[in-house]
C-alpha cells in the first residue's frame, strides 16, 4: 500500500520544478495538508475543491459584468460563494490551532487562517478566469482582485469585506501600533509559491514556539521541496539541524544556503558558523 506522505512529498517535489504560473495553488496546499494529517480524507477535500471551482465557473457565466472585469462584482460574487453560501470564516477563537493552516481541516471545519482562506479565494478566482493575487500586508494576509486602478483589496478573514484606505490604516495601526501609518510598499503582491510558503510558515513557527524542533524541521524540509532554491529556508533548516546536534546535515544545509546567497553580511556570519561546526566534527 502506498505511503500517503511519500506520495504527497513526491507531488511537492514535482511542483517544485514548475514555474510559478503553472502551480495549482489549492492542489499543492492539499499535498502539504496530507503530510500533516495523513488520517484525513484528502479525496473528500479534493472533491470539495472541485465543487468550489465548478461554482466559481457558474458565477462567471451568471454575471457578465463581473466576468467583463468589474472587480467589486467579482468580490461580491466570491464572498457570497465562499463565506455566505459555503460558510467559510476566520477562526478568531482558536487562531493558533494548527488545523487552521491545514487545507483539509479548513475544508472540513469551514474555519481557517487568512492565508488558508485566501488560497480558496485564489482557487475560485482562477477557476472563474478572474485575476487575483495574494497580498502580503503586515501581519495580515489579504487578497487583491485586479481592476483598472490596481488592486481591490479584500479581507478574506473578515468575510470578504473590501478594504479602502481607512480600513487599511486601521489595520496597520492594529498590527504595528497607534503611531503606524500607511506608507509605500505596504501592499506587496505575492507569487503563488510565496503564498504556499506563508501557509506552511504558520505551522513551522507554531511548532518552534511549542519546542517541537523536529516537527518544525520536517515542515521546513517539505517547504524546500516546493522551493528548492530558497536560501532562507536552507539556512533555517541548517540552524534547526544544529540545535538537534546533527552537525554533518547542518553543514550540508548551510552550505546550500551559502551557495544560493554567497554575498552580504549574513553570508559572512554563516561562514563563521560553518567553520565552528566543522571544528566540532574534527
d(CA 141, CA 156): 8
Confidence of residue 262 (pLDDT cuts 50, 70, 90): very high
Mean pLDDT, residues 75-82 taken together:
98
Per-chain mean pLDDT for the chain: 95
Q: What does residue 112 show for φ and ψ, rounded to 5 degrees?
A: -175, 180
Over residues 1-26, the pLDDT tens digits come to: 468 899 999 999 999 999 999 999 99
Q: What is the pLDDT of residue 4?
A: 83
User: How, if at all, do strands 140-147 and 132-137 pair?
Assistant: antiparallel
Over residues 181-232, the pLDDT tens digits come to: 988 888 889 999 999 999 999 999 999 999 999 999 999 999 999 999 999 9
CA trace torsion 44, 48, 49, 54 (10° rounding):
140
Confidence of residue 280 (pLDDT cuts 50, 70, 90): confident
Q: What is the pLDDT of residue 184?
A: 86
Q: What is the pLDDT of residue 188?
A: 87
**pLDDT exceeds cutoff 60 at 39:** yes
Could you tell me the three cell numbers for 105? 481541516
Could you tell me the three cell numbers for 10? 513526491
Over residues 139-162, the pLDDT tens digits come to: 899 999 998 878 999 999 999 999
Q: What is the C-alpha end-to-end distance of the chain, expressed in Å?
A: 43
Q: What is the pLDDT of residue 282?
A: 75
The verdict on pTM exceeding 0.85 is yes
Q: What percent of the chain has pLDDT over 90?
A: 88
Contact (Cβ atoms closer than 8 angstroms) between residue 106 and residue 99: yes
Mean pLDDT, residues 50-56 taken together:
98
Q: What is the pLDDT of residue 118?
A: 98
Q: Where in the chain is the domain with CATH 1.25.40.10?
A: 192-281
Match domain 192-281 to its CATH number in 2.60.40.420, 3.40.1260.10, 1.25.40.10, 3.30.930.10: 1.25.40.10
Residue 137's H or E segment, with its range, is strand 132-137
Q: What is the pLDDT of residue 2?
A: 67
Q: What is the pLDDT of residue 175?
A: 86
Mean pLDDT, residues 59-76 taken together:
96
Q: What is the pLDDT of residue 257?
A: 97
Q: What does residue 133 show for φ and ψ, rounded to 5 degrees?
A: -140, 150
150 vs 170, residue with greater confidence: 170
Amino acid at each position: 500500500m502506498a505511503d500517503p506522505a511519500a506520495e504527497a512529498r513526491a507531488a511537492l517535489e514535482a511542483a517544485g520544478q514548475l514555474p510559478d504560473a503553472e502551480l495549482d495553488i489549492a492542489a499543492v496546499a492539499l499535498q502539504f495538508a496530507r503530510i500533516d494529517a495523513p488520517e484525513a480524507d484528502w479525496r473528500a477535500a479534493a472533491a470539495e475543491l472541485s465543487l468550489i471551482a465548478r461554482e466559481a465557473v457558474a458565477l462567471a457565466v451568471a454575471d457578465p459584468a463581473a466576468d467583463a472585469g468589474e472587480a467589486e462584482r467579482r468580490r461580491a460574487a466570491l464572498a457570497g460563494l465562499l463565506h455566505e453560501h459555503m460558510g467559510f470564516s476566520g477562526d478568531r477563537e482558536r487562531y493558533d490551532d494548527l488545523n487552521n493552516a491545514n487545507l483539509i481541516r479548513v475544508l472540513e471545519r469551514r474555519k481557517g487562517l487568512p492565508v488558508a482562506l485566501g488560497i480558496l479565494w485564489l482557487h475560485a478566482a482562477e477557476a472563474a478566469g478572474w485575476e487575483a493575487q495574494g497580498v502580503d500586508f503586515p501581519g495580515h494576509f489579504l487578497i487583491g482582485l485586479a481592476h483598472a486602478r490596481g488592486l481591490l483589496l479584500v479581507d478574506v478573514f473578515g468575510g470578504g469585506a473590501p478594504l479602502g484606505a481607512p480600513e487599511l490604516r486601521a489595520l496597520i495601526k492594529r498590527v504595528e501600533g497607534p503611531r503606524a501609518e500607511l506608507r509605500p510598499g505596504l501592499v506587496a503582491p505575492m507569487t503563488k509559491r510565496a503564498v504556499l510558503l506563508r501557509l506552511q510558515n504558520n505551522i513551522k513557527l507554531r511548532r518552534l514556539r511549542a519546542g517541537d524542533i523536529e516537527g518544525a524541521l520536517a515542515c521546513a524540509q517539505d517547504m524546500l521541496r516546493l522551493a528548492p532554491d530558497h536560501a532562507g529556508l536552507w539556512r533555517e533548516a541548517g540552524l534547526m539541524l544544529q540545535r538537534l546536534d546533527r552537525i554533518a546535515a547542518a553543514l550540508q544545509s548551510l552550505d546550500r544556503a551559502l551557495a544560493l546567497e554567497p554575498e552580504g553580511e549574513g553570508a559572512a556570519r554563516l561562514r563563521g558558523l560553518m567553520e565552528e561546526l566543522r571544528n566540532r566534527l574534527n
